[in-house]
Amino acid sequence: MSSFAQVLVSALSRRPLKLIRVVVGVGCAIVLGLMWLNLIANQRAAEADEVGRIRQQARVHVRAAADTVQAEIDNFDFALHAARQAAMAGREALNMFGSIVTDAMPPQLVIQLFLIDASGYLQYSSLGPAPRNYLGDRDYFRTLAAAKNDRLVISDPVYGRLSNKWSIQFARGVWKADGEFMGVVALAVSPETWVTKLKSFEVEQSDVFAVLGADGSYLLRTLYADGYYGKRVPGDRPFLQHPEQMNGDFSVAGALDGVARMFAWIRLPSGLIVAMGIGLDEALAPVQALGRQSLLRTSLLSSLLVLASAALVLALGRYEKVVEKSRAREEHYRSVLDNMAEGIMIVDSDDRIIGVNPAFTGITGYGLDEVAGRNPALLSPKTPGARNLGELIGRYRSGSWEDDFDGVRWNGETYTGRATLSVVRAMDGRLTNRIVLLADVTERRRKDGEIWHQANFDSLTGLPNRALMMDRLERMISHARRQQSSVAVLFVDLDRFKPVNDNFGHEVGDRLLCEVARRLEALFREEDTVSRIGGDEFVVLLPRDFESAALEATAKKVVDRLSQPFGLGDDMIEISCCVGIARFPEDGDSASALIHKADVAMYRAKESGRSAWST
């Protein structure tokens, strides 16, 4: 509410008290006249103020909803761009990306990611294998097949022939480098799930949010479940009559339920229209009820002047409660940003900080007076290689972005921060501000690193465990398959290790395993992987070509090195080992096959005696 409106409301709320004092001083006749005039003026002003507040509230909510919807559209479009690249890379990349997309999006929001070939038949779906399905008759496919340039197409809700669900299709075309049309990649988004986000912006039961196509067709609506599919708003709506306008407001009775509402609307860059309607009857009911009560009281006061003071004070008290409630609601909306847990920083087009919230000060230690007009780079250390927040913000001039950065507080203490950036543009497209949400994720990242290390490394020797070893082996095989090279696997099993535990104790046995790990690491290069997969078994991965003689010489080095005595305190311990050798692609084309072949070869070596190796 503007300062002028606040002064006006304050003056009107004090006026009845002045009139009461006049009544006491000048007599009944003057009191009655002023009382009725005041009643009418206050009622009109209250209704006018309430309608203005409703209009402003609708604008605020529709702007927030529009930002949310646009952010979701940007996310979907980003996924489509990446999916298109994956589709060009092949089915395996598309399968992997489809799983990533469905897992990364909010649960049940994305029904499926799918690819339609140039002939209109479904070629891929993230839901899995599907029967042959012709989708060339879909409007979005025909639009993109005939398009001369790359564009995002958003469909009306359609009923899936395979998923048996209503969905909104976000689609982009796929072309070869020579411009030949290859098909369409699309995301099927659940309107039922998406609409739940819009429901968070509703205020009262009769309020409604809707997302419309450029032609007025309903895509999403928060009331009446799926009863709006296939329907359109009447053609007299301002956003249909004036397609050049980007936002506005109007009041009208709803086309589906007849409820009178104050609507505010915004046209998104994609042409979609986000509209919010606040039910006028429900919103004005408190003010109208107050007006009727005031009218009744004034009628009684006209004949009962003796009770004039008490009745007017009561009416004024109730009126002030309504005004205070309205003012408190507006203060609540203004205080939301100030009370968010995340720090908020507003950066102008010249990369200068122009606003922060209290949570920002809590995270960084800086107040607004200390950072106003300065570059966000001051929030990161100047050490080489640091992820500087100022550089990251300056790099992004459009869209949105989210990433970790290296932060430094006012007292020099460093931390790991998470920044989410959104770009705000003027109606003419000029960049005006960037809004950055900041959070301290130091402890979260530390715990993530500990969990990852515990899951992938042997706690005793510090070597990669079986899970990490298998993952690296799969990667080495994939690289070797592309480069037409080899990968060698050495399966090392210690001999005479059990007597060490029996005679010297498990503590000495553990120290011996650590020394074995260090000797093996010293024998191989950094790009090789030495891992402990359990007990006294070790696996060495060698991602390069070997002649058979050279590989057996390497195995001999392992046997010779581990057969040398180990000095553990006052004890000299002698063990030996057997080594099994397997190679890709001769002995297998998968990680599990190579490990199995190396294991079998190791047992062959054991059968021939200790300190041996076998292929």
Cis geometry, peptide bond prior to residue 243 (ω within 30 degrees of 0): no
Residue that the structure tokens 């209704």 belong to: 47
Task: Clarify whether 536 is annotated catalytic.
Answer: yes
Residue 139 CB: number of other CB atoms within 10 A? 13
For residue 120, the 8-state DSSP code is: S
Contact between 210 and 221 (Cβ < 8 Å)? yes
DSSP string, 452-502: HHHHHB-TTT--B-HHHHHHHHHHHHHHHHHHT--EEEEEEEEESHHHHHH
How far lies 301's CA from each of 25, 306, 315, in Å? 17, 8, 11
Instruction: Answer whether 540's CB lies under 8 Å from 575's CB.
Output: no
The catalytic residue among 207, 528, 536, 587 is 536
Q: What is the dihedral of CA 389, 393, 394, 397, to 10 degrees?
A: 170
Q: Which residue, among 33, 182, 171, has the nearest Cα to 121 in the 3D structure?
A: 182
Please enumerate in sequence order all residues whose Cβ is within 8 A of that of 540, keeping only pairs 6 or more positions apart, or say none.
Answer: 489, 490, 492, 520, 524, 528, 529, 530, 531, 558
88 and 174 in contact (C-beta within 8 Å)?
yes
Gap between the Cα atoms of 364 and 154, Å rounded: 42
Q: What are 418's strand-pairing partners? A: 404, 439
- Helix (H), strand (E), coil (C) string for 1-57: CCHHHHHHHHHHHHHHHHHHHHHHHHCHHHHHHHHHHHHHHHHHHHHHHHHHHHHHH
Active site residue ranges:
536
